[in-house]
Structure 1
Amino acid sequence: MVKFKEGGFLPLVSAIIFTMIMGIWFYAQRERYMFELNNKVSSESVIKLVNDLNTNRIQGIGVLYSELVQGIPPIFAHFIANIPTIHSVVVFVSLKGIPISNVALEERFLFRYVEPRECKMFRCIVRHGYNDVIGDSMEFESQLVQYLKEFIIQESNYISQHETTMSSGVVEGIENEMKSIGKALEKGVVYMLGETEIVAYPKSSILHKIIVDTYNFLRRNFQQRDELMAIPRKRLLKVGMTYEI
């Protein structure tokens, strides 16, 4: 007890504070993820957005970062509603750390189409270990496009695997997609980040509001995602949206 009174209580107090911070962070992150999951953009909405006469498609590759692994995050629809412009090729990227030291480069990028394929939108999960470094933006862009092209070829081969020879239509489709990606890359890559503001429901309890406010304070004082991913500021577009949790 003497040592406790003389300062032995400090480790205990520190442990309690850090435990509370981790609990607040985990709770708010989970609620934020569930909001995105429950409000993700459906395939029907994507078709409407792309085919809308007021929506322009410009040459270039748009990379939108999201923590949502499945589906399209609501920030995308919010972006189109305010700036009715979509890049000719759009890639939704999610960075996922896995508990190994390094991930082989050929296993790092996992792609799949966002239906319908004519929209030229892709979902990409970038896996990395705790010793992996994403690298600069130019290296990342080169790797992203390289493995995107390989994915398109693999998907086309899978479709025609039951045929004795690859049909001319499939070959032409691959060539057209490769050309469109090449043209888009020539125009450059634009990175889009969602600047989400988390607010509590007006009828939430005082404790819930305190947790949300504390979470926002922690987020503002952490290193920004664009700095962590070495995104060039001249090609960075941030989109703001409010989440009520």
Structure 2
Amino acid sequence: MTRFTSSSYQTAIITGGADGLGKALARKLVQQGVFVTLFDLNEAKLQETAANLGELADWHVVDVTQSEQIRTAVDAVQQKRGTIEILVNSAGITGKTNLKSHEVPVEDFDRVLSLNARGTFLCCQTVLPVMLSGSYGRILNIASIAGKEGNAGMVAYSTSKAAVIGMTKAMGKEYAETGITVNALAPAVIQTALVDAMPPAQVSYMTDKIPMKRCGTLEEFAEIAAFIVSPANSFTTGFTFDLSGGRAVY
């Protein structure tokens, strides 16, 4: 699968990279000369996205809830590239929405927590030793405004993203002296296929709370995310960056 192996470029892994937020950031990083490896379950989308990104892109079919699959893919990236400087945990699902908590199927709650929170942890746990060996790294965990404030009708998603924020704070402190930063980004509503698939009432509930009265764009997401994983972001760690159109001011 790998078509380019020069070690003169930084190497990034982006989970959920075949589409949506991950794809938008991958495009931005490739434009900046970063070699990007996409992890996702959708092989057809992975092939399409990587082909569009060109020679600085590679892909692996990975279920981020499965530690062995992550390990195999990370080992392959390290073997080809030598090191991994950037990890972006963008894979995530909303689960069933527009439901009261007592109506949420337990299996759906477990599925959302497994992918959004456990998957983020497993990917960090696997890539961190690689970064430690190089005394450098940038990890970005995609959280959500729901993790800060809680969205009614989205108890599983809100819980999972609060877990991601707590995880980021702990990891940021743990690796603060190693050259590795661990930060999160908490968007409000970004116009993606994930949002388009949600019930209109749920989307309205979320956008009505945004002072700018609009969704964020994929370009706005990619700009701030690219900065967070850049060498320039060297003195901020354990922090959750805002991308909420004024909804969260803390």
Fold equivalence (TM over 0.5): no
- Normalising by structure 2, what TM-score? 0.30
Comparing both structures, which one devotes a greater share of its residues to helix? 1
Q: Answer 1 or 2: higher relative contact order, Cα 8 Å, separation at least 6.
A: 1
- Larger-Rg structure: 1
Comparing both structures, which one devotes a greater share of its residues to strand? 1
